[in-house]
Structure 1
Amino acid sequence: MQITRRRVVVTVIVLLGASWLTTLTVLIAQQPEAGVPSPSELRTTLEQALNSKDAKALETVLDYPPSAAADFAKSYAARFTQEGARDVRVTLAPAGDAPTTATVTGVLADGRRFGYPLALKEDGGNWSVAFVPPFSP
């Protein structure tokens, strides 16, 4: 078998492609799981993140596709800033070790109150906020 320039180029391209796929797979596998270890920590983290409009902290508790979580958290925090949201409170229901809903309440800049429910998700001991309707099983 004769080594030609074409074979060398094809071999290099195949090796680069395989290296890229391996690197991508490792990076995806090493991404931390979203969420925190307990419902109470989830409530505290979410409440603090929304009050301080901290997108990074909000991102840690989102059950959202990892490739878009940072952008979503930034947009969410920016909207809270834009509306002048303050005095944000988060309550979990039902009470206990297995809540299914977080209710976010607060006051807007013009004094109007707001509130909405969010679904909670527990996966492998990690608790996160799922931005889907809070349907109970």
Structure 2
Amino acid sequence: MDHMSSAPSSTRRPSGLDPAIAARLKRNPEGLFPAIAQQYDTGEVLMLAWMDDEALHRTLTTGRCTYYSRSRGEYWVKGETSGHAQHVRSVALDCDGDTVLVKVDQVGAACHTGDRTCFDAGALSPDA
């Protein structure tokens, strides 16, 4: 059974997102879905964060990545305080409708640790 589903309207925050796009999204019970940020020209995977309908709407209309902070319960624009902005080049929904891929032009570090990517903390080796 798919654990991601369209959230009931009671868990969704108000949004200006186009209803045709909203209808394609599958959300977790909190009304969120993962967003993967990827450097548009090199394919480098930079980070994963969470969006809801309004965060996606803001991302699509402003050209800057907006995410929803689960811990703070608020929206945040990548780079607003750090200067490490993500300028949107394209946004795609995956085949299941439960994840978005945002191709960006990353300015500076994508990771909150100051690293270029969140995925450089060490590779995990599968047992052979």
- With the shorter chain as reference, the TM-score category is 0.3 to 0.5
Which one has the bigger strand percentage? 2
Higher gyration radius (CA): 1
Which one has the bigger helix percentage? 1
Give the TM-score normalised by the residue count of structure 2. Answer: 0.33
